Amino acid sequence: MEKTKFQPTYLIASGQTKKTEVQYGIKLWDDRDPRQAGREGIPACYIFRKSRPCRIKLGNLIIQKKGNDFFLISKGTKVAQALVNYYGKSHADIAIQTYESHRRRGFATILFGWLSDWLTDNGYIHESTCMVDNHASLKMHLKLGFEIAGHIRWSRKEHHENKK
């Protein structure tokens, strides 16, 4: 896998973890960060990095783009939606959902894989995260050729501060 300068995952880089840290009195960090080397903590999320192209075939499905939102359309109906979050000059993250009445049919996998390749083709490094207990998302990432590159970890704030 290609080495790149460390860029924290989108959840850390965007500051989206701050509310959770305050609410629960914890500290969250990306364990790939060289400044956090050796720091102990409980894994909260997997961080994935693509190891190969996903090579998704859309068949009769259609992708519709509106701003940073991408929709997967089947037979004229929106079945899944993805939001691309861009951070830094070269990184992107995808938040995805399948509409309830269309779940368990592979639509999230198709949209996520297609969009991941689209990001790569447009010069972005696509990293992704999912909670460690989200087994469906873990399975989808591995199926699409992602590797676990690290974790977002947590510890009680006072424990984190004592380790500095």
Count Cβ atoms within 10 A of the Cβ of residue 147 and give its class: 0-12 exposed, 13-18 middle, 19 or more buried. middle
Confidence of residue 161 (pLDDT cuts 50, 70, 90): low
Confidence of residue 4 (pLDDT cuts 50, 70, 90): low
Sheet holding 125-131, edge to edge: 26-30, 146-156, 42-50, 125-131, 91-98, 77-87, 69-74, 62-66
The backbone torsions φ and ψ at residue 93, rounded to the nearest 5 degrees and listed phi first, read -135, 150
Give the predicted TM-score (pTM) of the model.
Answer: 0.84
Structure tokens of 87? 């951070």
Confidence of residue 163 (pLDDT cuts 50, 70, 90): low
- On whether the CB atoms of residues 41 and 154 are closer than 8 A, the answer is yes
With a cut of 60, say whether residue 73 has pLDDT above it.
Answer: yes
Which CATH number does the domain 10-162 belong to among 3.10.620.30, 3.40.309.10, 3.40.630.30, 3.30.160.20? 3.40.630.30
